[in-house]
C-alpha cells in the first residue's frame, strides 16, 4: 500500500472551467436575441429567443443535464410568446430591457434563496458529481449568482427609466464584467473565502533553533505530555529547538498510558492505534523520531456481538469483508463495494497529505498548496470528497440494506463518540472504517510503553520532559506568548503548545483580557464529547482463545483483553481486561459526595455482570479490580467532563483552529483538527510542529 501513497498533488491544466463559462454564455443567447431583435411593435425577437431556448432545453433533455437558467428562460419566452402572439399584449416587446433583466433578477434571486445558484449548474462540469452539493461549492456560487443578480437589478432599473439602452455600452460592460468575475472567482474564490474565515489566526512567530540561551528560557514550551504534546516536542527537538514539556502527572501519555495493579497491567483507555501500515503516518512518525515500530505493535483481532450473533472478523480489510460476507451472504456484493469505496477514499486522504505528514484543514490547503492546487483537490480526489460531504450512515445506506450489518460496521463509530448519523465522513474514514481497512494495533507493553518511549525520544534530542509539574499559567503580554509559570518557577518561551483541552487552557491558564471575550464565548459554546465508565479487572482465567478486542453492540460496551494483545500484561494463565462503557459526565455524582464510592462499586459490578454474557464465569474469578468514572478521567487529564474525545465530533460541530488568537499559542491534541485518537493527535502535533519550524517543501 505504501507505493500508492507516494504521489504528489500537482495543479493540472483543466479546460472544464472555460467550458462552464461557455455554457453560461450559451444560456444567455436567447436573451441576447430577445434584446437585439425585439423592438416596440416588432416582436419577432421573442420567437427567435423561444426557438433558441427550445434547442438548449432539448440538449439538456438529451444529455439528462438539467440547468435552471435555460429551463426558466424557456418558461419566460413561452409565456412572452403566448402574451404577444395569440393575446396581442405587446408589453414584452415594448419593454424588452426591464422585462428581460427583471426576469433574470427573479431567476437569480430565487436560485440563491433555494440554495441552487444558477451559475453552479454550469460549473458542475468542472467537478465530480460528489462535490456538487458541497457547502463550500454552494456558497461560492451563491456569491457569484448574487453578483449576477446585482447586475440584473441595475440594468432592470436603468432600462426601465431609459437611463441606458439594453444594448448600450453600460449594459454590455456590466454583463462582460460579470462574466470576468465568474471566471476569476471560480478559481480564486475558494481560497479567498477560506482566508477571510481564518484571518484572525494568520500570525507568525519567527523562531530559529536554539535561539533561547538562558537556563529557564526555551524556544517552545509544551503544556501536557499527552501524545499530541510528546509528538510536537519530539519533532521540534529533533529539528534543534530547545523544548520543554511540563506534565502534571507522574506518567506521560494522558489517556495513552498504562495502569499497574498487582501483577496485572491495563490500558487506561486507549483500545488501539491506527496508521501503522507500511509507511502509514504513525509508522513514518515513529521512525522519524527514532522509534522502530517493528515488533512494537500487535494487530488486534476483532469480535462483534449483535442481536445475539457472534462475528469474528480477524484483523484487516480482507478478513473483515470475508467474515461479514459469510454471515450476510445476501449483502456480500454491498459489503465489497462499501469497503472498496471506503478504501479508495481512505488512501486518497493519505495520498494528498503525505507531503505534509497529515491531512490538512482547508485553510492550510490554501496556504501550503496554493489557490490552484486547492481548487483542483475535489477533481483530483472525487472519492474522498464524496465521503467528506456525507455521514457514515449515508454511506452505509448507499451500499447495504441490513440494519444489523450496518450496526456492526458502524460499531467503531462509537470510538468517535458519535452515532453513525452524526459521524462525519472524515471521522468515518479515520476512526471507523479506516481501522478496519488498515488494521488496529496494540502497543507492546501497553499504551504507556509507547508514551514513555516518546518521552525518551524527546530527551534524546535534547528536550526536557518534567513530570509532576503542573502549568499554573501561560504568560502573555500584549496578546503574545511570553512563557509558562509552574508554581514558583517561570519558564520563558517564544511559543507555547497547549496539549491540554482548549477549554481548560482558555478558561484557566490564559488571561481573559488577553485572549478576548469573543473567543472565550466561542470555546464555551463547544460541547464536550461523551465520557465513559472504565473497569480494570485482573482475572484468574486464561482467555487467550478470545479475540483481543470485542465490541458488544447489544450491551453497548467494549472489552479489551490486554493480555491477548501482549501476554506480559498478566501472569501466565491469567488475563487483564479493560471494560469500557459510555457514560455521561452528569450520570455520576461528584467525587466528594458520600455515595460516590458506593456508586463506583455498583457500576463496576454491573459492567462485570454484563461482561459475563460474553466471557462466562469471569465475575467469580476477579482477583484485581479498579475503576475510573468520568470524574476520575476529568481529574487525571484536566479535560472538562472527562470527555474521551475532546470536543464533540458530530456533524456540524466545530473544532478550534490550531492557532489561538494569542500570537505564539498553539493547540495540539484530540480537540483540534483532525480529531480524537492517537493517530489524529499525532497528526495535529505534526501540524503544530511544521507550522513552528516551517512546512516541508517538495523533495524534503
* pLDDT computed for residue 43 by the predictor: 83
pLDDT of 182 strictly over 50? yes
Q: Is the model more confident about 377 or about 300?
A: 300
Domain final residue, candidates 619, 641, 663: 641
Distances 566 to 98, 266, 438, 621 between C-alpha atoms, Å = 79, 10, 20, 20
Total domain count, the chain: 4
In this predicted structure, the answer to whether residue 147 has a pLDDT above a threshold of 90 is: yes
Return d(Cα 414, Cα 404) in angstroms, integer.
15
Whether 42 and 141 share a structural domain: yes
**pLDDT tens figures, 239-284:** 999 999 999 999 999 999 999 999 999 999 999 999 998 888 999 9
The stretches of 316-446 forming alpha helices (DSSP H) are 317-327, 332-353, 362-380, 382-388, 392-399, 403-409, 425-428, 434-438
pLDDT digits (tens, 9 = 90+) for 466-510: 999 999 999 999 999 999 999 999 999 999 999 999 999 999 999
In 3-state terms, what secondary structure has residue 468?
coil
Backbone angles phi and psi of 350, in degrees to 5? -80, -20
Using the predicted structure, report yes or no on whether residue 1 has a pLDDT greater than 60: no
Q: CB–CB of 490/505 below 8 Å?
A: no
Listed residue (276, 644, 675, 279) closest to 441, CA to CA:
276
Does residue 698 carry a pLDDT above 80? no
Task: Round the average pLDDT of the chain to a whole number and report it.
Answer: 88
In a domain, 210, yes or no: no
Average pLDDT over residues 215-221: 92
pLDDT tens profile 545-580: 999 999 998 888 999 999 999 999 999 999 999 999
Residue 668 lies in a domain: yes
Q: Please tell me whether residues 68 and 165 are part of one structural domain.
A: yes
Query: Do 584 and 474 fall into the same domain?
Result: no
Same domain, yes or no: 27 and 138 = yes
243 is a domain residue: yes
**Strands 243-247 and 441-443, sheet pairing:** unpaired
Residue 121 domain flag: yes
Q: Are residues 512 and 546 in the same domain?
A: no
Burial class (CB in 10 A: 0-12, 13-18, 19+), 325: middle
Question: What is the domain extent for residue 385?
Answer: 311-439
What is the pLDDT, as a whole number, of residue 110? 94
Q: Which of 621, 620, 641 is nearest to 629 (CA)?
A: 641
Q: Which residues contact 465 (CB under 8 A, 6 or more apart)?
A: 225, 230, 233, 245, 247, 252, 455, 458, 459
Q: Report the percentage of the chain scoring pLDDT > 70.
A: 94
Whether 177 and 116 share a structural domain = yes
C-beta separation of 373 from 289 below 8 A? no
CA distance 273 to 678: 6
Please tell me whether residues 623 and 519 are part of one structural domain. no
- What are 11-41's pLDDT values in tens digits? 344 445 677 778 888 889 999 998 998 888 7
Same domain as 569, residue 552: yes
Beta carbons of 631 and 583 less than 8 angstroms apart: no
Number of H helices, E strands in the chain: 27, 18
Same domain, 615 and 689: no
434: left (phi over 0), alpha (psi -120 to 50) or beta: alpha
Assigned domain for 206 exists: no
Residue-wise pLDDT for 286-325, tens only, equals 999 999 999 999 999 999 998 888 989 877 788 899 999 9
Interval 61-81: pLDDT, tens: 887 777 889 899 999 999 988
CATH number, domain with residue 541: 3.30.70
Given phi > 0 = left and psi -120 to 50 = alpha, else beta, which region is 493? Answer: beta
- 455 shares its domain with 511: yes
Q: Is 179 exposed, middle or buried (0-12, 13-18, 19+ CB in 10 A)?
A: middle
DSSP string, 263-328: TEEEESS---B---STT-HHHHHHHHTT---TTTEEEPPEEEEETTEEEEEESSHHHHHHHHHHH-
24 and 155 in a single domain? The answer is: yes
pLDDT band at 59; cut points 50, 70, 90: confident
pLDDT top residue among 533 and 41? 533
Q: What 3-state class would DSSP assign to 211?
A: coil
Region 631-643: what's the mean pLDDT?
A: 92
- 233: CATH: 3.50.50.60
Q: Which of 481, 470, 474 is nearest to 509 (CA)?
A: 474
- Provide the 8-state DSSP code for 480: B
User: Among 439, 456, 475, where does a domain finish?
Assistant: 439
Report the C-alpha gap between 332 and 336 in whole angstroms.
Answer: 6
Which of the listed residues 197, 225, 256 is the one where a domain comes to its end? 197
The answer to whether position 424 is within a domain reads: yes
pLDDT of the residue at 17: 61
269 and 178, same structural domain? Answer: no
Q: Is residue 649 part of a domain?
A: no
Does the residue 457 lie in any domain?
yes
Amino acid at each position: 500500500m505504501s507505493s500508492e501513497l507516494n504521489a504528489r498533488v500537482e495543479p493540472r491544466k483543466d479546460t472544464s472551467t472555460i467550458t462552464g463559462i461557455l455554457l453560461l454564455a450559451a444560456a444567455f443567447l436567447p436573451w441576447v436575441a430577445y434584446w437585439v431583435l425585439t423592438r416596440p411593435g416588432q416582436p419577432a425577437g421573442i420567437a427567435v429567443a423561444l426557438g433558441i431556448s427550445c434547442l438548449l432545453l432539448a440538449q439538456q433533455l438529451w444529455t439528462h443535464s438539467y440547468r435552471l437558467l435555460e429551463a426558466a428562460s424557456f418558461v419566460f419566452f413561452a409565456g412572452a410568446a403566448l402574451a404577444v402572439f395569440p393575446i396581442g399584449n405587446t408589453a414584452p416587446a415594448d419593454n424588452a430591457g426591464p422585462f428581460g433583466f427583471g426576469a433574470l433578477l427573479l431567476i437569480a434571486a430565487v436560485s440563491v434563496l433555494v440554495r441552487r445558484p444558477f451559475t453552479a449548474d454550469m460549473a458542475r462540469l468542472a467537478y465530480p458529481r460528489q462535490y456538487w452539493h458541497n457547502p463550500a461549492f454552494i456558497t461560492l456560487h451563491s456569491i457569484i449568482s448574487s453578483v449576477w443578480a446585482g447586475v440584473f437589478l441595475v440594468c432592470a432599473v436603468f432600462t426601465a427609466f431609459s437611463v441606458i439602452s439594453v444594448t448600450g455600452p453600460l449594459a454590455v460592460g456590466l454583463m462582460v464584467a460579470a462574466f470576468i468575475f465568474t471566471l476569476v472567482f471560480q478559481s480564486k474564490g475558494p481560497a479567498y473565502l477560506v482566508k477571510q474565515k481564518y484571518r484572525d489566526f494568520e500570525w507568525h512567530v519567527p523562531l530559529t533553533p536554539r535561539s533561547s540561551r538562558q537556563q529557564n528560557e526555551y524556544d517552545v514550551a509544551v503544556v501536557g505530555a499527552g501524545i499530541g504534546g510528546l509528538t510536537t516536542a519530539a519533532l521540534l527537538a529533533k529539528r534543534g529547538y530547545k523544548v520543554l514539556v511540563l506534565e502534571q502527572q507522574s506518567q506521560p501519555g494522558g489517556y495513552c498510558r498504562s495502569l499497574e495493579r498487582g501483577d496485572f497491567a491495563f490500558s487506561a483507555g486507549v483500545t488501539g492505534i491506527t496508521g501503522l501500515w507500511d509507511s502509514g503516518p504513525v509508522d513514518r512518525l515513529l521512525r522519524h523520531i527514532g522509534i522502530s515500530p517493528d515488533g512494537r505493535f500487535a494487530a488486534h483481532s476483532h469480535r462483534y456481538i449483535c442481536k445475539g450473533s457472534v462475528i469474528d472478523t480477524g484483523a484487516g480489510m480482507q478478513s473483515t469483508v470475508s467474515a461479514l460476507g459469510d454471515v450476510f451472504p445476501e449483502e456480500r456484493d454491498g459489503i465489497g463495494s462499501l469497503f472498496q469505496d471506503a478504501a479508495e477514499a481512505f488512501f486518497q486522504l493519505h495520498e494528498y497529505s503525505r507531503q505534509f505528514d497529515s491531512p490538512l484543514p482547508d485553510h492550510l490547503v490554501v496556504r501550503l498548496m496554493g489557490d490552484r492546487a486547492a481548487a483542483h483537490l475535489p477533481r483530483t480526489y472525487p472519492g474522498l470528497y464524496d465521503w467528506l460531504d456525507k455521514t457514515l450512515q449515508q454511506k452505509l445506506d448507499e451500499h447495504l440494506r441490513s440494519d444489523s450489518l450496518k450496526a456492526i460496521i458502524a460499531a467503531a463509530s462509537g470510538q468517535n463518540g458519535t452515532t453513525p448519523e452524526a459521524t462525519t465522513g472524515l471521522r468515518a474514514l479515520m476512526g471507523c472504517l479506516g481501522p478496519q481497512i488498515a488494521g488496529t494495533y496494540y502497543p507492546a507493553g501497553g499504551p504507556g510503553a509507547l508514551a514513555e518511549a516518546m518521552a525518551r525520544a524527546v530527551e534524546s534530542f535534547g528536550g526536557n520532559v518534567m513530570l509532576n509539574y503542573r502549568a499554573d499559567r501561560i504568560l502573555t503580554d500584549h496578546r503574545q506568548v511570553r512563557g509558562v509559570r509552574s508554581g514558583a518557577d517561570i519558564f520563558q518561551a517564544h511559543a507555547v503548545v497547549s496539549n491540554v483541552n482548549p477549554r481548560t487552557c482558555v478558561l484557566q491558564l490564559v488571561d481573559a483580557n488577553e485572549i478576548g471575550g469573543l473567543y472565550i464565548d466561542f470555546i464555551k459554546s463547544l460541547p464536550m464529547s461523551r465520557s465513559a465508565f472504565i473497569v480494570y479487572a485482573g482475572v484468574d482465567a486464561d482467555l487467550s482463545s478470545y479475540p483481543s478486542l470485542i465490541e458488544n453492540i447489544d450491551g453497548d460496551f467494549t472489552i479489551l483483553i490486554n493480555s491477548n494483545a501482549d501476554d506480559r500484561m498478566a501472569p501466565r494463565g491469567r488475563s487483564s481486561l479493560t471494560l469500557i462503557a459510555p457514560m455521561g459526565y452528569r450520570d455520576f455524582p461528584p467525587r466528594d459526595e458520600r455515595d460516590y464510592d458506593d456508586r463506583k462499586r455498583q457500576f463496576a459490578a454491573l459492567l462485570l455482570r454484563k461482561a459475563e454474557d460474553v466471557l462466562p464465569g469471569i465475575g467469580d474469578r476477579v482477583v484485581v479490580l479498579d475503576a475510573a468514572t468520568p470524574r476520575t478521567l476529568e481529574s487525571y487529564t484536566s479535560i472538562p467532563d472527562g470527555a474521551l474525545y475532546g470536543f464533540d465530533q458530530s456533524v456540524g460541530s466545530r473544532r478550534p483552529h490550531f492557532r489561538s488568537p494569542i500570537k505564539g499559542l498553539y493547540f495540539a491534541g484530540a480537540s483540534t483538527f483532525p480529531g480524537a485518537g492517537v493517530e489524529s493527535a499525532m497528526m495535529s502535533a505534526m501540524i503544530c510542529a511544521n507550522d513552528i519550524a516551517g512546512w516541508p517543501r517538495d523533495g524534503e
